[in-house]
A and B are shown apart, each in its own frame.
Chain A
Amino acid sequence: MNGYLNLYLNSTVFQVFQVLTVIVCSPFIAGFISKAEEIIEGKTGPSVFQPYYDLYKLFHKEILIPKDASFVFRSAPFVSFISMILITLLIPVLTAYPLPLGFMGDMLGGAFLFSLSSFFINIASLDLGTSYGGLGSSRSTLLAILSEPTLILVFVGVALIAKSTLPYVMLHTITASLPLYFSSPHFMIIAAFFLLFLADTDRRPINASTHAEMSMIEEARILEYSGPYLALLKWAGYMKQFLLLVIFINVLVFPWGLAVNHTPFSLIIAIASLIIKMLAIGVIAAVIDTAISRLRFFRYQEYFGAAFVLSVLAIMTFQYKGF
């Protein structure tokens, strides 16, 4: 009886730490990537803790809401933030074994929550009827239309390899069989997901994250927000990047170094290894972001076509792999 109680307690502690890691560390990763980009460009750049300062500053401003705004405008930041926290519960952030709430949904559920957050920001930007809001939401909807088939095919590929859509099962399948880890379908899925990661986090081949209104996509959607609402949206954006990195690293690329039991020591190891892996991938993302020039808007389909081809070929080659 006592042992069961301990197990429940420990699982709860891990679950809480899972959410806290994502909430606390996500601005740091964003700050690190932008710092790395600045260093590669030969500048000093802001501190890695700059996103924390920004959030602090924004949370201490007053709340300003335009007078035409409806409830959609007011609820979008909260929906976005809470969907990110819910996704955190579904994916293996710290532990290699599933935590109690990990069975709430599979990877399709996670994709649904990402889309829900994006959808709410879209309709909130349309809510006020400003021109830049409509521009941003139409562009981001086009990107979603182009990227969603690839995302679904990546999940189909993962489901074929793991015979399940739960991310924990994929992690175990890969770590259990090295030939499967080094098989071509796995690498193609990794490449397709990385292309999607670059597109979803607003990186270079797709969008330059500029503050010039003519070329912005993500920024144009939240142009009307200010103060604590903007802080929540920004934080949700940092968390989105962090969660995509977690899925990329802990489910697909390098699922080692996660906690395997309920001890405090393995918790510390898991957090430290997660941060180190993220910094490594962050440096790669920063190099790509500075080395590649931005694609023209009407050539985005080529980029997403490449990702689509990779995912289809992953499925085809998996059917007849030779082991």
Chain B
Amino acid sequence: MLGYSMPLYIYVIEDLLVSLVLLSSFVMLSSRWISFYIHAYGFQSFLIFVLTLILGIEAQSVDLYLVAFLTLFVRTIFVPYILLKMIKKFNIKEEVKLTLKIPFSIISGVVLTVFAYFLIYRLISPFSSKIVVNASSIALSLIFVGFFMIISRFTTITHILGLLVIENGIFLLSVVVVPTLPLIVELVVLFDILVTVTAMLILSMFMKIQTGSFSTTMLNRLVG
């Protein structure tokens, strides 16, 4: 389990992976192209898969193996695949519509990350080891960055991706802080993603048919 007796190199690898997860969320914040955005999400999920697998091997917990491989299939392969397919099918304009300029959103991401570090430091630092503090701060900052993505971009695809980033953050937090969580909870969370993505894709398809666009700025046309 994280924070208990483990070899030093595991700590180093965990630290590296967790910071790469954080960096990939910044890559998503700064990307202009939707396909790049989706690939960054897939990469982030892949990093979380590797992290979970290493934790599972170290803790010798079969549950974590199972959760890791489900993460690989659902988050790294299935969700990016259907999102990319959707983009191709509906011929979505590649460029993300940004309300805020990229440097401003990057700096906001940094501010949110520092805030997450501050919160986690006040919350759990007295009774947990430093690597748990680091990893859970990054998980919390993923949640914040996901919310920020939702409020700062105006297409449904980016809204879905923002939700998925929030979800990645919650999953990372649960894996890092309570690796002994029952398997059923993790399964429910994964099932949640599938349902969310499918439902939101169907809804946005309806929206595309009704308003002719994926942009949520057009929603005022739906007034009956």
Q: What is the interface of chain A, defined by CB distance below 8 A to chain B?
A: 179, 182-184, 187-188, 301-302, 305-306, 308-310, 312-313, 316-317, 319-323
Contact = CB atoms under 8 A, between A and B. Distances in A.
Interface size class of B (residues with CB under 8 A): 20 to 34
A322 B134 contact: yes
A183 B16 contact: yes
B8 A179 contact: yes
B29 to A, nearest CB: 9
A179 B12 contact: yes
B19 interface: yes
Interface stretch (B71-79, B107-115, B165-173, B201-209): B107-115
Nearest to B111: A312
B144 interface: no
Residue from the set B103, B117, B131 with the largest chain A CB neighbour count within 10 Å: B103
B15 A183 contact: yes
B133 A184 contact: no
Task: Label chain A's interface by main secondary structure.
Answer: helix
B129 interface: yes
Given A302-B102, A312-B110, A182 B117 contact: no
Interface in B2-24: 3, 8-9, 11-12, 14-16, 18-20, 22-23
A323 B138 CA distance: 17
Given A305-B106, A313-B22, A320-B133, A184 B114 contact: no
B211 interface: no
A42 B129 CA distance: 54
B12 A183 contact: yes
B19 A188 contact: yes
B15 A322 contact: yes
A305 B107 contact: yes
Contacts of B20: 184
B113 A316 contact: yes
A184 B15 contact: yes
A316 to B, nearest CB: 6
Nearest to A320: B134
A317 B134 contact: yes
Contacts of B15: 183-184, 317, 321-323
Nearest to A303: B103
B12 A182 contact: yes
Given A313-B23, A313-B113, A321 B16 contact: no
